[in-house]
Amino acid sequence: CSLTVYSHPPELLDFIAQQAMQLLEGDACVLFRFDHDRDLLAPQATTGVALDLVQALTVPSGKEPAGEVVRERRPVAITDLSHSAGNGDAAGDGPADWIRGYGASIAVPLEAAADFYGVLAIYYRRPRPFSEEEVRLAQSFGANAALAIENGRLREQLERGAAEAERSRLARDLHDSVTQALFTASIQAE
């Protein structure tokens, strides 16, 4: 099951990335959307690293900390990225260029109910250990972020439904008024 793709308000995704980086005291944060058809993660929002640096990047399932989250569906904390076997790029020959400046990462799934949206990854300049409490905090933040994304999707569906209902009402009103005008004209013609 997957969350329906919709045009996320970039402000919401940027806000989530900013808040995650601030709360977890990271140096950078990337919010990835999971493309279920291609089994890849694509960056949607960043903080601390320019989106254009990671925009063309796609992370396959199982690669880098974020890709490991897709495969495992659980938080992944890497205390030293330089020694991590799972952080290779798509070719598998070393870390992606943008991640080379970071020493540690914690990545958590963005999942609401059974709907998997993607991954929230926080990066740290230096290698560092992660306490169990930090992992739980990141996981809790990820769960709340997924709910915010799901609420945004539902709000957009409601707005689209309301707009569609208003268009239908106006079309009926227009049809009724045209029909009535034609009927009146035909009576007057008789």
**pLDDT at residue 97, as a whole number:** 66
Phi/psi of residue 149, nearest 5 degrees: -65, -45
Q: What is the pLDDT of residues 22-56, one digit of tens each?
A: 999 999 999 999 998 898 898 888 888 877 777 77
- Predicted TM-score of the model (pTM): 0.71
- Note whether 103 and 82 are within 8 A (CB): yes
Rg (CA), the chain: 23
Residue 105 tokens read as 């990462």
The string of DSSP letters for 39-61 reads: TEEEEEEEESS-HHHHTT--EET
Q: What residue ranges of the chain have pLDDT lower than 70?
A: 1-9, 84-97, 161-163, 165, 169-171, 173-176, 178
| 3-class SS letters over 69-124 | HHHHCCCEEECCHHHCCCCECCCCCCECHHHCCCCEEEEEEEEECCEEEEEEEEEE
**pLDDT at residue 163, as a whole number:** 66
